[in-house]
Amino acid sequence: MKNFLSINVFLLILFQTLKAQTLESDNFNAYTIGNVGTDITASVPGQGGFYTDFPGGSNSEAQIVNIDASHGKSLQLTGSAGASATKFMWKNGLGTAWAARTSGNDILKLSFSLYTGNATGGVGRGTVLIYDGTTHKTLLGAGYEYDTQRIVGIAYYTKISNGVTGNYLFYLEPPTYSYPPNTWITLNCTFNKTTGAVTWTTPGGVTYGPASTHVPAAAGVDPFELDFVSVAGVGNTIAHITSFDDYMVTATNNATLVTREAMAEESNVSVYPNPAADFIHIQSESPVTKIEIVDIAGRKKDMHFDHEKIDIRNLTPGIYIITMEIKGSKFSKKFIKK
């Protein structure tokens, strides 16, 4: 019976995984280093079919660059050094891909890496946004705010206190959390077409949703276009440089989100060395937010956890289980203390 149940669970997970669909994605590695396009009026597509709309700008403000070996090539946008200027870059086809999605895949997921860029200060943001067909409603989006060095989310909501509906900006973490220049971070967000609700997952794995002061306003609305956006606000004097990489837009459902991500995350977690005498290390693509170690009798051990390194010198030799919390999910691994 146990084997029968295991097979059925495996088949269910496989079925759910196959239901998820990638609608648009790119890692820019197949592109040529240099300008993305030759036109800044969105009339002629450039590399990868991307259009650039840069009023008062130049083609050199959207480039394929090689920042570091770990990310390979990435997209770099240079913002305006003046005030109140916005630059957009996009490709066509997301709306068509969404319309052809598997029935029931009504959750839109966006994930991408962002390089916080070359300068602090100034006023503006570097973001990835997904619009509806009017391009006035931001169904979901996220990015980095230059002056505060904080990550932000953007979504179409109604503010209860005044009844105003629009694209609202939400800070995804407390003001004590910030990200310095020239730092890679990863952002994830989802839009539920049925409810209009948006959730974000921060680089630290914390899930954020707008407070009860705001209610979703885009229920039933379909996505149409993904844009890379560089915004310079009033009073800005800095040409901010931001890079993007490894973006992916997926149509999925609740079951697939939970199962597929948990499986992928667990497969990327390792504890080493094993056996170990002094220290063990946790290797994970996403940050570990909490750990717990118990012996084979279930007794919890107080341990010091510092940047994925754990001091186990005070443990008696034997077999232990370490449970790690990553992006809201828990994973367990066995290790041996020598």
Residue-level pLDDT at 5: 40
Can you give the CATH number for the domain in which 51 is found?
Answer: 2.60.120.200
Tell me if 204 is assigned to some domain: yes
Number of H helices, E strands in the chain: 3, 25
Structural domain boundaries, residue 299: 268-337
Tell me if 1 is assigned to some domain: no
Residue-level pLDDT at 258: 58
**C-alpha span between 283 and 271 (Å, rounded):** 6
Residues 87 and 222 in one domain: yes
End position of a domain, from candidates 253, 282, 306: 253
Tell me if 178 is assigned to some domain: yes
* Number of separate domains in the chain: 2
Residue-level pLDDT at 137: 98
Going residue by residue through the chain, which has 338 residues, state the pLDDT in tens, using 9 for 90 and above.
334 444 444 444 444 444 679 999 999 999 999 999 999 999 999 999 999 999 989 999 999 999 987 788 999 999 999 988 999 999 999 999 999 999 999 999 999 999 999 888 899 999 999 999 999 999 999 999 999 999 999 999 999 999 999 999 999 988 888 888 898 999 999 999 999 999 998 887 778 999 889 999 999 999 999 999 999 999 999 999 999 999 999 999 976 665 555 555 555 678 888 888 999 988 877 788 888 888 766 677 877 777 678 999 999 998 888 888 776 666 777 888 99
Residues 73 and 120 in one domain: yes
Using DSSP's 3-state secondary structure scheme, residue 135 falls into coil
* Spatial contact of 208 and 172, defined as CB atoms under 8 Å apart: yes
For the record, the structure tokens of 182 come out as 């020239």
* Spatial contact of 119 and 128, defined as CB atoms under 8 Å apart: no
Residues 210 and 331 in one domain: no
Q: Find how far residue 70's CA is from the centre of its chain.
A: 17
Q: pTM here?
A: 0.74
What does the H/E/C string look like for 33-62? Answer: CEECCCCCECCCCCHHHCEEECCCCCHHHE
